[in-house]
Structure 1
Amino acid sequence: MKIKPLLLLGGVVVLSFNNGYAFTTKSTTENLNVISVLNEKLTEDNIVQLTRITGTVKDKAGLPIPGVSISVKNTKVGVLTDNNGKYIIDAEVGSILVFSFTGFKSQEIRIENDTSIDVNLEEMSTELGTVLVVGYSTKKQSEISGSVSVVTGEKLRDVTSNELSSLLQGKAPGVVVSTASGSPTSGSNIIIRGAGSINASTDPLIVVDGNIGGNYNPTDVETITILKDAAATGLYGSRAANGVIIVTTKTGKAGVTKVDFNSSMGYSEASTGNFKLMNTAQLYDYQSKFYTGLTPERLNNDTDWWNLAFRTGMVNSHTASASGGSENTKFYVSGNYYKEEGTLINNDKTGYNFRTNISQKLSEKFNLSVLLNGIFTKDNYNASGALYDAYVNLPFDPAFNGDLTPVDSRYGTWYGRDRDNFMHTLQYNTSKAKSLNVSADINLDYKIIKNLTFSTYNRGKLVNYRSDSFSDKRSKDGATNNGSASASTSYTNTFLTSNRLRYSNTFGKHNLAVLAVGEIEYGYAESLGANVKNLPAGRDAFSTATDIVTNPTSGNDTYQFSKYLGQADYNYDNRYFAVASYVTEYSSRFGSNNPSGNFYQLGASWIISNEAFFKNVKPVTSLKLRASYGTTGNAYGIGYYAALGLYSISSGASYAGLPGAAPSQKANPDLTWEKSKAANIGLDITLFKRIELSIDAYHKQAASLLFFRPLPATTGYNGVYENVGNVRNRGVEFNLTTKNFVKAFKWETNFNMAFNRNKVLEVNQGRNEVSNGARQPIAVGHDMDEWFMPVWSGVNPDNGAPLWENRVKDADGKEFLSYTSNYNAASRVYTGKSSAPKFTGGLSNNFEYKNFSLSTFFNFVYGNYVYNESRFLFDSDGLYESYNQMQLASGWNRWEKPGDLVTHPKPVHGRADNANALSTRFLEDGSYIRLRNVTLGYNLPTSWLTKAKINKARIFISGDNIWTLTKFSGTDPEVELRTGESYIKYPISRKLLFGLNVSL
């Protein structure tokens, strides 16, 4: 190693080694003697003058970036920018400085006669060079042959929620999110590329930081990667029939420690949509047309039960995090507090989250990562029946006495059918839950030789949950048992170890990566429940009870999954790519004859734009074709012992005072995995570096569907789990991103849309339907979610009676259509209408100008039909005079005289013609488009922040669920799409929030 002394002023010598290392030393005789001994002689030829370069590195918004790496190319000389994005480096004239930072494009600048170099780094685009987390590794997007969507943490958190599923709504094509309730304590449902199961789960597999399962908080999410086809889900193929969502949490980066604080506060109000209830005058006028029992005293009160049940709720979210480290040690630590009051009184959610991610380079061969996450949640549920009463209670009944104390509806005059005043119950009854969810990961990577790495990823997770409810003896609910209380606790733990051997190498233009994995997951669960009565007023302690409502219950369960898999990735010259994987997995949930499932996946892609013949096609920046085929499986949503014969403890089976058990589930040793075959073809194209389009077409066919088939009572069993049927999903989806303006004024648009069609192909044992007579029977030749019921034909204009279709066939089998007012004579038919939408999607626009930013996000659902079952109660045409009624929606009218062409029959008191019974009358178009979020932000000028040593500060105002366009007559068209029903729904809320983001 030869030393090159670089003589500087001030008595300092910079020693430059020929391998690129450099350091400074005082110009003492002793040091120069050392140099002389090592190099024998110093000459003018090896004396080089260094130049000191200073500058600032900023992002496209002009804000400084701390922790940027600045290095002299082909040497190991380098520095990092400080908190203000500033740097100082000494380098030789003519050398090249390399500026690099994660998430930004690297820049190279040659040093001429400069002493100051300022740089603005550009953020990484979503082109083929982007690195994505997929399967058990990371890959460049160019290397992926499957269908993958990515949502960054920033795009995820425009909407305010503590549930990832809610945040994903409308963000990725083919990912349909729906919720049955607007309560902050309830979650949402996710379906990827259509439902492909009957009784088993349709939820996607969740993978957090490389392992199946795990904990996370949305505030800690770096990216969400959604794997949709067989090639993409390959390594999880045994449990990936419903797609895979990979959650990657934030990690620290080498450089100056970064401290972030994000806070938002605001309020929410219930959305009533197109739904309105009658007030006293309207209801009195309506009932006077058919009810002779009205008395003028009813007009003395005009209680708005809806306004009493709902309130303005407060929303708070505060997150503090610190990240940073060195080249060897990196860390990320965060804490989050989230509190959302439901718009329904006495309903709220409080969450506390803590996460720490630490990675340590132990040596050149060993890397260690430790990830810890804890979530503590407290939920309060409304225990007074306020939601139900808000819909059906009569405005004739008062909520309060003259002294403003709540009326006890059990006594005195009360016109409502249920005699229930939730304001009275609210004083006494409670319902709440709390949970602690902790997961810990210990991951070790060992580089055996240059191209061979062994990794072991290990996770332990535990969940403690407890729920409590109390019905005071002074309340209506508590009077039956003279005061009652119930409690249930559960504890679960899972342990997973995943051991991976990866080989990768390059042979000229050939690139090969081979992965082998052995994995085992073990789970244990236990539960305990009790229900007591005869409690003193105001005392919910079990020790004060003198009797039980039901015998205490308890149980414990275990399960196990074990998996072996292999995958080979190959590409030639960054043009042709191929991937193949094979997975075999065992599950304790299945029968002794078929506990294992074998699955395979194949994928290929071609980057046409990397071909020599394509280089002159200037408008096309990149062009890629993808194709895949493979099998995936499903084991979720069934009991731990679905294949076994089970007994249940039953009081009816007791003998001589001793407990007994009765058969409940018939054994099926042949029960096995659901299996899905999927094919996908896709195209990715980028035009003019500003238009990015991805299109996918898929065919997915699920077989051996898991289903719990009820058995006749004469068999002695409730039912048996079987593999039944075959369901097909076909669809097309696309994602389009355009950079409309890119200069001082920036405008970017993202538009995604997905079309899906579902069809039942087969049901076993010679049957045509899975559930005979059900609203959605799941029948061969029909959409899995198609509605089956009488068809409403409107109102007879002559007498105001309801009409339904009656389809009859003559002796030759020819069908004739007639109409009947006899509900029992109406034909039950497949309506051709489904609870599954024909297409879904989202549209976002992001604008930036100087320090201002504006974003808008719409999501939409089209073509699904919702059964508005609650209209059975409050659109009953006179059947329920003791329930409040809804005001007729726009375009609706009621029959009054012969000849009227109307939507609603003549109201009849206590009617017996089933006008409000199950039929397409209450089957409504559930299509909607919703302005999901609007956010206006302002980045405070750097000049304001420098003195306070603040790198970035942003203030913003945000609104959620601001506007919805729909024909649906209820409070909200959004329902759980699999069931497709809306009944006494807790409506979604509109939110207005103010926030602050600060980086130190």
Structure 2
Amino acid sequence: MRNQYKFLIRLSLFAALSLANGLESAVAFSPDNNVKKRAGQADYTVTGKVVSSENEALPGVSIVEKGTNKGTTTDIDGAFTINLTSPGTTLIFSFIGYATKEVAVDGATNLDIVLESDAKGLDEVVVVGYSAKKARYLSSSVSTISSQKLRDVTSNELPNLLQGKAPGVVVSTNSGDPTSPARVVIRGSGTISANSSPLYVVDGNIDGSYNPVDVESVTVLKDVAATGLYGSRAANGVIIVNTKMGKAGKTEINFNNTFGWAKATTGNFRLMDSQELFDFHSTFNPRNESVLRTNTNWWNEAFRTAFVNNHNVSISGGSDKTTFYVSGNYYKEQGTVVENDKTGFNFRTNLKSQLTNKLAAAILFNAQYTRDNYQNSNTLYDAYTNLPYDPAYDNGVPTDGRSYPNWLGRDRENFLHSIQYNFANARSLRTSLDVNLDYDLTDKITLSSYNRANFGNGSGATYYDRRTKQGGANGGELYNNNNNNYRLLTSNRIRYSEEFGKHSLTLLGVAEAETSFNEFNTTSGKGLPAGQDVLSVATDILVSPTSYNEQVAFRKFLGQADYNYDNRYFLVGSLVNEFSSLFGKNNSTANFFQLGASWVLSNEEFLKNNKVLTFAKLRLSHGTVGNAAIPNFASLGLYTISQSASYAGVPGAQPFQKGNPDLTWEKIRASNLGFDISLWNRVDLAVDIYNKKSEDLLYQRPLTATTGYSYVWVNAGSVRNRGVEFSLTSNNITGKQLTWETNFNMAFNRNKILELSGGAATFRPGNRLPLAAGHDMGEFNMPVWAGVNPENGDPQWEKLVTDANGNVTKELTNAYSTVQTAQSRQFTGKSTNPDFTGGLTNTLGYKGFTLSAFFNFVSGNWVYNESRVYFDNDGLYESYNQMVLPSQYSRWEKPGDIATHPKPIVGGNKDSNQSSTRYLEDGSYIRLRNVRLGYNIPVNTIKRIGFARANIFVSADNLWTGTKFTGPDPEASFSFEDTPGASSIKYPISRKLLFGVNFTL
């Protein structure tokens, strides 16, 4: 392996030197064609005009003389003039949204060129697995999102930009914190303890770093015919990220700038002010009217109007042999909670060169630096629970709740005092270097070597000053952590392509090797002088230092055959053999297979030239893929060394994790049936029906203390996901001045646990979300709330009673202790998983104006609003603030009242706020995710100041949300990496108003 990476470094140096030589001509290129003539050559002038198929002039079309770096662009009328080296040369015409066209000059002095639109996407080349194909010839289920459709919402995280853009791709977040990542689940979760996130592939290689501003397109692979090629880490789908590359022609300099403001949304939620809380308390625990002298809005103290900045500059261009793209980005988003923000810097350079007639090389480099400041000091918690009776300031100075006289709040804490001294932050730097080589051994055989080195390091610090409540007990606390990691990957490929008559065949062989290394350590101390946030001044250790390092290896062999007959019938099949050091020594390798077929009906004689059904394709796929997303060393028996196991002052070891040498991959067997049709060349519809079964689920099974171990990793049971998804694109109006396009997608998924290991009926019994055979993975199991007794205002629950004959009946009870037992906990039929999800975008264009509106929606999921335990508890926490009851709720006051809320009593009303379906709420919502109005300034106007293109826009995110949910925001995670379907002290999402200006030189 060491020799292999030495070879990789040598290749990098060789390619870098070659590209540097090639770039000398690319950088020197200018639109005025100030290129020295070669000896004996005379200029040959050609003029002409470029129009669309609708006969509209196309300004800004790139025109390059093939084999040289001579080039120009069309003016506002689509006209061009170019000096050529000879009358027998060829011109290349390229323009975004249109198919590239090569035209032989053949002595002509005037050319009229028509470019055909490729906006419909059927002829768009899509990267799938280790190859690229036109979309019309794919046999698998994929969704492709272009950069234009990604950049409406403002975010520095790709998952946020994908939300609602592709069917079956469900993006969710538990927090509006800009430092908190969103989660992506594709076609339902099919794993218990393993990671459910998709695999990311950047520019042809697994993993890699990137910035959303540099993304050219995103392709989501959903069925096994496409995902299976990536082996054991593709079980949860694959997201392929293609970054921008330079194009031959005029060097372009692009400036993109966005700035604006964000404010936290509150939805249907509002906390009481002093008068409202006083009136509520008066019904069961009267207060002295003196408390009304203070009316602190703690929510407003915790939240702010935040500023958002996003600035990018890129330079791209090149010749037909060498192209380059260089980009720098600065992103700063303040959180709406005070002292919380995210700052990112990104630099990318993509260089590609045709070094010889046979050898092509690319060097791709990306560096990403991130600085996060986390919301700390219980700011969010206090914003929800602090009483409005308590003052935030005393003579302009933040009060200290611990020492302020007559502080009434339960926790005696003012976060405004703490945030003056406390902080929590993290810093990280990720770099990624790719060296890719393609060598045409013959006109039919291509050898490729794609190599990547990822390096990352990060550090974090959390500091609690001794002057604050958090740091007071230990005289100040400081926690530091550091992480270093790298990943080396080499992917070597051989491709054979043959065409014979109407037949074509492509054979692909891939051998990949990957190793990753990670080291992590933490240190902490206490007894620090005020304001001193370095461990060197600590007087004692707070927690014993921890450290670990680990190394993991993967190896994969892949073989694929792709057959096409007459562009009508397509067959593809592949076999994957993979090794991973993650698994037990008895099962460290696994084999997977994938099959796909498609039939392009519109290429048959009976449908050719049909003016209504202009395209039709039927697709079918079946195969297997694996999941290896588990912690390192999960298969090994582990011991922990600690002071608690010490003997005679010497640290000792004790069992921690039981080993399992038979541990192996989760295996997913999936089938997909789909069809794609196009009507009148303006309406495109894609529909997919799938069945995905996960077997040998990776599960961290707890063990009893008598075993001497905490848990063991096992393969346990199976889960099924079935669903239907579709996407519809309609070009409603395609006029010369007015255009209107609609994009609509929707997905339905049903999840079911088929079996658990050992015939067990339930895993995690007593959990709010247990796992039980025959039930949805996200189905809630808890006591069932039966409302309020109208006679006395008591809470009521359903109690299950079993008679001597085994018959089960339901009774009402006000004793919570009798319903929290296993006998009375019930599966509710309500799940964290939605019935359906989707998105709707309408885009209108008129002359230079573009107006778009994007909605995303989720329906049928249930969210446990755990926050209400604190501020909707019927008097239990009278020292916490309370929520204003929404219109659909009512509180019991007198006998006969039919109410949703029990009678409030000091100390609570018979455990009414304990876990039950009382706090289980419908999490369905529809959100106006983005509205954007842009204007392309006329070229003849900006040309005078040297600009080629300019655009200004105003954009708004999260303008409106329609929901019945009573919290600030209904959005909850669907991923089992978090706690799915839970909303607790929610950091709400932000409503943003943004302005931008983009221009090109």
TM bucket, shorter chain: over 0.9
Pairing 1:200-239 to 2, within 5 Å after superposition:
200-239=194-233
1:906 alignment counterpart: 903
2:939 alignment counterpart: 942
CA shift for structure 1 position 70: 6.5
CA shift for structure 1 position 385: 1.2
CA shift for structure 1 position 100: 4.2
1:196 alignment counterpart: 190
| CA distance in 1 between partners of 2:981 and 2:159 (Å) | 18
1:347 alignment counterpart: 340
Matched, 1:67 2:62: yes
| CA distance in 2 between partners of 1:78 and 1:688 (Å) | 40
1:931 alignment counterpart: 928
Contact 1:159–1:167 (8 Å) recurs in 2: yes
CA shift for structure 1 position 97: 7.5
Contact 2:595–2:623 (8 Å) recurs in 1: yes
Distance 1:59 1:333, change over 3 A: farther
Q: 1:256-275: CA deviations, max 9, x gaps?
A: 11111100000000001110
Question: Which of 428, 433, 442 pairs up with 1:435?
Answer: 428
Unpaired segments of 5 or more residues in structure 2? Answer: 1-36
* Aligned-partner residue type, residue 847 of structure 1: L
1:237 counterpart SS class: helix
2:22 alignment counterpart: none
* Aligned-partner residue type, residue 999 of structure 1: T
| CA distance in 1 between partners of 2:343 and 2:330 (Å) | 8
2:894 alignment counterpart: 897
- Alpha-carbon RMSD across the aligned residues, in angstroms, is 2.3
1:649 alignment counterpart: 641
| CA distance in 2 between partners of 1:621 and 1:717 (Å) | 64
CA shift for structure 1 position 64: 2.4
Q: 1:55-81: CA deviations, max 9, x gaps?
A: 46789986622533477xxxx899632
CA shift for structure 1 position 813: 3.2
| CA distance in 2 between partners of 1:771 and 1:954 (Å) | 55
1:678 alignment counterpart: 670
TM-score between the two structures when normalised by the length of structure 2: 0.92
1:156 alignment counterpart: 150
| CA distance in 2 between partners of 1:112 and 1:677 (Å) | 56
CA shift for structure 1 position 507: 0.7
Distance 1:26 1:889, change over 3 A: closer
1:248 alignment counterpart: 242
* Aligned-partner residue type, residue 845 of structure 2: E
| CA distance in 2 between partners of 1:425 and 1:470 (Å) | 11
Question: Which of 789, 793, 801 pairs up with 2:786?
Answer: 793
Contact 2:762–2:771 (8 Å) recurs in 1: yes
Pairing 1:71-82 to 2, within 5 Å after superposition:
80-82=71-73
Contact 2:90–2:104 (8 Å) recurs in 1: yes
Contact 2:763–2:771 (8 Å) recurs in 1: yes
Contact 1:649–1:660 (8 Å) recurs in 2: yes
2:23 alignment counterpart: none
| CA distance in 2 between partners of 1:91 and 1:378 (Å) | 52
1:617 alignment counterpart: 610
* Aligned-partner residue type, residue 60 of structure 2: I
Contact 1:66–1:256 (8 Å) recurs in 2: no
Distance 1:106 1:371, change over 3 A: closer
Question: Which of 836, 841, 849 pairs up with 1:839?
Answer: 836
Contact 1:56–1:87 (8 Å) recurs in 2: no
* Aligned-partner residue type, residue 868 of structure 1: N
1:449 counterpart SS class: coil
Question: Which of 359, 363, 370 pairs up with 1:366?
Answer: 359
* Aligned-partner residue type, residue 982 of structure 1: S
* Aligned-partner residue type, residue 67 of structure 1: S
Q: 1:746-771: CA deviations, max 9, x gaps?
A: 00000000000000000011201121
Pairing 1:534-573 to 2, within 5 Å after superposition:
534-573=527-566
Distance 1:59 1:184, change over 3 A: farther
2:20 alignment counterpart: none
Question: Which of 414, 421, 438 pairs up with 1:421?
Answer: 414
Greater shift in the superposed pair: 220-229 or 379-388 = 379-388
Greater shift in the superposed pair: 940-949 or 856-865 = 940-949
Distance 1:56 1:604, change over 3 A: closer
CA shift for structure 1 position 237: 3.2
Distance 1:138 1:55, change over 3 A: same
Contact 1:68–1:101 (8 Å) recurs in 2: no
Contact 1:954–1:997 (8 Å) recurs in 2: yes
Pairing 1:770-809 to 2, within 5 Å after superposition:
770-809=763-802
Q: 1:548-582: CA deviations, max 9, x gaps?
A: 10111111111011100101100000000000000
CA shift for structure 1 position 105: 2.5
CA shift for structure 1 position 99: 3.8
Q: 1:340-392: CA deviations, max 9, x gaps?
A: 00000000000000000001111111111100000001011122211000000
1:182 alignment counterpart: 176
| CA distance in 2 between partners of 1:67 and 1:740 (Å) | 29
| CA distance in 2 between partners of 1:121 and 1:847 (Å) | 22
Pairing 1:393-542 to 2, within 5 Å after superposition:
393-542=386-535
1:283 alignment counterpart: 277
* Aligned-partner residue type, residue 763 of structure 2: V
CA shift for structure 1 position 812: 3.3
Greater shift in the superposed pair: 664-673 or 909-918 = 909-918
1:265 counterpart SS class: strand
Pairing 1:613-762 to 2, within 5 Å after superposition:
613-636=606-629, 638-743=630-735, 744-762=737-755
CA shift for structure 1 position 806: 1.8
2:264 alignment counterpart: 270
CA shift for structure 1 position 465: 0.6
Q: 1:639-698: CA deviations, max 9, x gaps?
A: 210000000122210111111111000011110000000000000000000000000000
Q: 1:685-731: CA deviations, max 9, x gaps?
A: 00000000000000000001101111111111001000011000000
Contact 1:66–1:255 (8 Å) recurs in 2: no
| CA distance in 1 between partners of 2:771 and 2:835 (Å) | 18
| CA distance in 2 between partners of 1:689 and 1:903 (Å) | 55
1:309 alignment counterpart: 302
1:13 alignment counterpart: none
| CA distance in 1 between partners of 2:904 and 2:738 (Å) | 60
| CA distance in 1 between partners of 2:284 and 2:832 (Å) | 35
CA shift for structure 1 position 823: 1.3
CA shift for structure 1 position 137: 1.6
Question: Which of 913, 916, 924 pairs up with 1:916?
Answer: 913
Distance 1:652 1:626, change over 3 A: same
Contact 1:58–1:64 (8 Å) recurs in 2: no
| CA distance in 1 between partners of 2:772 and 2:203 (Å) | 40
Greater shift in the superposed pair: 395-404 or 985-994 = 395-404
* Larger Rg belongs to: 1
| CA distance in 2 between partners of 1:62 and 1:268 (Å) | 40
CA shift for structure 1 position 109: 8.5
Q: 1:139-172: CA deviations, max 9, x gaps?
A: 1113210100000111111100000011100000
Question: % of aligned pairs identical?
Answer: 54
Q: 1:955-991: CA deviations, max 9, x gaps?
A: 0000000100000000100011231100001100000
TM-score between the two structures when normalised by the length of structure 1: 0.92
1:306 counterpart SS class: helix
Question: Which of 358, 381, 401 pairs up with 1:388?
Answer: 381
Distance 1:561 1:92, change over 3 A: closer
Matched, 1:869 2:866: yes
Greater shift in the superposed pair: 698-707 or 539-548 = 539-548
Distance 1:962 1:118, change over 3 A: farther
2:532 counterpart SS class: coil
Between the two proteins, the alignment pairs up a number of residues equal to: 952
Question: Which of 875, 882, 904 pairs up with 1:885?
Answer: 882
2:8 alignment counterpart: none
Q: 1:183-242: CA deviations, max 9, x gaps?
A: 111110000000000000100011001011000100000010000001111311322110
Distance 1:891 1:101, change over 3 A: closer
CA shift for structure 1 position 300: 1.6
1:186 counterpart SS class: coil
CA shift for structure 1 position 437: 0.5
